[in-house]
């Protein structure tokens, strides 16, 4: 950047974004000065219809690109609508930078139009929030925001930009900045060797060690390191919902997703015993949250726990453990190195029996699930939809799911084909409506890879408008709407807890295919399972926008532990 040429602060912001490798901003024209300057130098604006969805697009982009996602918005109500997706990014450890226009500096605290205390607003849902008031410091603050988002435990940062500041001419900076900070993770610290050596000794001497990998595997890009540790050291791997895809689930030492998917008809019903019987459990990149541990019931008292995480506050939050604080990829790499220099005789002797046990778990799951997976009934079983989709997946396919049942069908029914395959779900806070915008962000990040988005009719109602964004922005996604006419989890959970459910649980008869066509998106409404493969296959192969509305059985629900007694009684 030529710092001798006079430029506005907005131009400096755009050039700093370009320096950090930013190619996309999810915005709706505001802050106008910044977006105009960004578009002038080739940064693409993906114009969302609503800020909540724009924040989720930036989240999906960050998850699939390895770059920090950037979203921009106006002050006041627009800024307030960024709170939900930033809160999701905070809990899910996804780096997103929010550029928020603020009122002019001399209008502060005078009830200016749409004035709000944005510092207070964003403190609960970001790692870092600042308001820039001095023009010559703009590069400092841009770099600090990227550093906050991409370092340590990744997460969102917010930068407040007063409108008058953006129009101001920026003086020459005291210090010229040239580094690119837009890729994440920005730093890769590792634990001290003595602790990793202690962990290696525990694993090598264990009777039945096991690894539970969480979303940190994807955040760290640790899938290959995890797969190498699994293969070379003979350690079985299960994942949380967010960790799905961290390993090839066809590997003989992969036990799929566990978490709360342990009810009748689940894989976890068979694999949970492996965790309960393990004498050493390696928790890798997981925050040991409620859904990832089936309400903290899956680890036995007396089990030795090794916890690997970038965030020191997450280590030992629930379980006392050997603390390996650091980047997951770097930590697993050095752990594997130490293990390969250890006596792995116990791992070698037990390898085949562990492989046999895992194979038996998969076989029993497939037997339990066969009737639903091959069902020809109408309305359709979601398991049948997942079976047809599985046959069309490749390791490059990105599968995105909305919160609630959509996430659970994907986590429990589909099977990863390679280490690092992406299954993107909003499991930080699990808010409904983020499926489609996450998918649009993923498509912007990886335009050459097919993206399929699984949503329920309840969650899809939150984001219908972004169908128009998809068409206008040329971000073709295959959208599968599982239309069962109800708020499924709410109805089933209330039935279990109270024996009845409220009137809100039944939805109106909406023809989503007509909504899609009104937005210029081709659509098909499917009731016959025999029609699934043709339409899914064509959409994924051609990578064209298509909405498939599939009429599904309202009585179907994923095999969650919450419903176990009800399902067993049935």
Judged against a pLDDT cut of 60, whether residue 83 lies above it is answered with: yes
| Cα–Cα dist 69/183, whole Å | 10
Question: Mind listing the pLDDT tens digit for each residue in 345-380?
Answer: 999 999 999 999 999 999 999 999 999 999 999 999
Please, are residues 256 and 186 in contact by the beta-carbon 8 Å criterion? no
| Cα–Cα dist 117/121, whole Å | 6
| Cα–Cα dist 208/358, whole Å | 13
| Cα–Cα dist 93/150, whole Å | 9
**Annotated domain spans of the chain:** 9-167, 193-360, 375-568
Local confidence band at 172 (pLDDT 50, 70, 90 cut-offs): confident
Judged against a pLDDT cut of 70, whether residue 3 lies above it is answered with: no
Local confidence band at 570 (pLDDT 50, 70, 90 cut-offs): low
- Cβ burial 335-355 (10 Å sphere, 16+ → b, else e): bbebbeebebebbeebbeebe
Question: Mind listing the pLDDT tens digit for each residue in 512-562?
Answer: 999 999 999 999 999 999 999 999 999 898 889 999 999 999 999 999 999
Local confidence band at 65 (pLDDT 50, 70, 90 cut-offs): very high
Mean pLDDT of 258-266: 95
Q: What are phi and psi of 511, to 5 degrees?
A: -95, 95
Determine what percent of the chain is predicted with pLDDT higher than 90: 95
Mean pLDDT of 31-50: 98
Judged against a pLDDT cut of 90, whether residue 470 lies above it is answered with: yes
- Closest-CA residue to 546 (of 482, 475, 490): 475
Question: Mind listing the pLDDT tens digit for each residue in 190-247?
Answer: 999 999 999 999 999 999 999 999 999 999 999 999 999 999 999 999 999 999 999 9
Judged against a pLDDT cut of 70, whether residue 1 lies above it is answered with: no
Mean pLDDT of 168-188: 94
- What's the pLDDT at 4? 53
Question: Mind listing the pLDDT tens digit for each residue in 434-450?
Answer: 999 999 999 999 999 99
Mean pLDDT of the chain: 96
- The answer as to CATH 3.40.50.2000 being correct for domain 9-167 is no
Locate all alpha helices (DSSP H) within 66-211, ordered by sequence.
77-80, 83-92, 118-123, 138-150, 163-167, 193-205
DSSP β-bridge partners for residue 524: 548
**3-state SS assignment for residue 465:** coil
Which class is 375-568 in CATH?
Answer: alpha beta
CA distances 391 to 181, 519, 524, 534, Å, are: 39, 30, 20, 12
pTM for this entry: 0.97
What CATH number has the domain spanning 193-360? 3.40.50.1220
Q: Residue 128: left if φ>0, alpha if ψ -120 to 50, beta else—which one?
A: beta
| Cα–Cα dist 230/253, whole Å | 7
Judged against a pLDDT cut of 80, whether residue 568 lies above it is answered with: no
- What's the pLDDT at 6? 74
């Amino acid at each position: 950047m030529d710092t001798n040429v006079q430029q506005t602060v907005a131009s400096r912001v755009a050039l700093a974004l370009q320096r950090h490798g930013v190619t996309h901003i999810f915005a709706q024209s505001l802050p106008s000065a910044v977006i105009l300057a960004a578009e002038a130098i080739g940064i693409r604006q993906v114009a969302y219809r609503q800020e909540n969805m724009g924040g989720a697009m930036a989240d999906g982009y960050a998850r699939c690109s390895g770059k920090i996602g950037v979203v921009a918005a106006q002050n006041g109500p627009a800024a307030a609508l960024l709170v939900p997706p930033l809160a999701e990014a905070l809990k899910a450890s996804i780096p997103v930078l929010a550029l928020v226009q603020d009122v002019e500096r001399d209008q502060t605290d005078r009830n200016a139009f749409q004035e709000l205390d944005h510092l207070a607003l964003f403190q609960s849902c970001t790692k870092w929030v600042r308001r820039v008031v001095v023009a010559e410091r703009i590069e400092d603050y841009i770099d600090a925001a990227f550093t906050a988002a991409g370092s340590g435990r990744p997460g969102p940062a917010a930068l407040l930009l007063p409108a008058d500041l953006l129009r101001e001419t920026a003086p020459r900076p005291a210090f010229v900045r040239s580094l690119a900070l837009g890729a994440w993770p920005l730093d890769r610290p590792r634990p001290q060797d003595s602790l990793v050596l202690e962990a290696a000794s525990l694993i090598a001497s264990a009777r039945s060690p096991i690894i539970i990998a969480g979303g940190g595997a994807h955040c760290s890009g640790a899938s290959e390191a995890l797969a190498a540790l699994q293969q070379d050291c003979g350690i079985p791997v299960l994942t949380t919902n967010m960790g799905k895809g961290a390993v090839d689930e066809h590997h003989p030492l992969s036990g799929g997703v566990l978490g709360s998917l342990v009810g009748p008809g689940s894989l976890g019903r068979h694999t949970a015993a492996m965790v309960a019987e393990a004498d050493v459990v390696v928790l890798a990149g997981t925050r040991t949250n409620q859904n990832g541990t089936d309400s903290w019931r899956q680890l036995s008292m007396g089990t030795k726990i090794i916890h690997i995480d970038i965030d020191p506050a997450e280590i030992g939050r629930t379980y006392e453990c050997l603390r390996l604080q650091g980047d997951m990829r770097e930590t697993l790499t050095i752990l594997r190195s130490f293990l390969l220099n250890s006596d792995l005789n116990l791992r070698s002797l037990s390898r085949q029996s562990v492989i046999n046990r895992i194979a038996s778990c998969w076989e029993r799951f497939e037997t339990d699930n066969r009737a639903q997976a091959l069902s020809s009934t109408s309305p359709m079983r979601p398991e049948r939809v997942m079976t047809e989709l599985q046959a069309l997946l490749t390791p490059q396919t990105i599968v995105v799911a909305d919160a609630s049942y959509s996430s659970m069908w994907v986590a429990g029914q589909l099977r990863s084909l390679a280490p690092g395959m992406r299954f993107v779900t909003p499991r930080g806070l699990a808010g409904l409506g983020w499926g489609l915008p996450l998918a649009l962000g993923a498509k912007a990040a990886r335009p050459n890879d097919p993206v399929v988005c699984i949503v329920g009719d309840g969650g899809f109602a939150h984001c219908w408008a972004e169908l128009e964004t998809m068409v206008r922005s040329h971000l073709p996604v295959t959208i599968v709407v599982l239309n069962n006419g109800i708020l499924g989890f709410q109805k089933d959970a209330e039935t279990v807890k109270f024996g009845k459910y409220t009137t809100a649980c039944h939805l109106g008869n909406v023809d989503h295919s007509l909504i899609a066509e009104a937005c210029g998106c081709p659509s098909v409404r499917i009731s016959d399972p025999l029609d699934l493969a043709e339409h899914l296959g064509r959409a994924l192969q051609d990578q064209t926008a298509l909405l498939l509305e599939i009429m599904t059985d309202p009585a179907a629900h994923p095999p969650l532990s919450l419903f176990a007694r009800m399902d067993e009684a049935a």
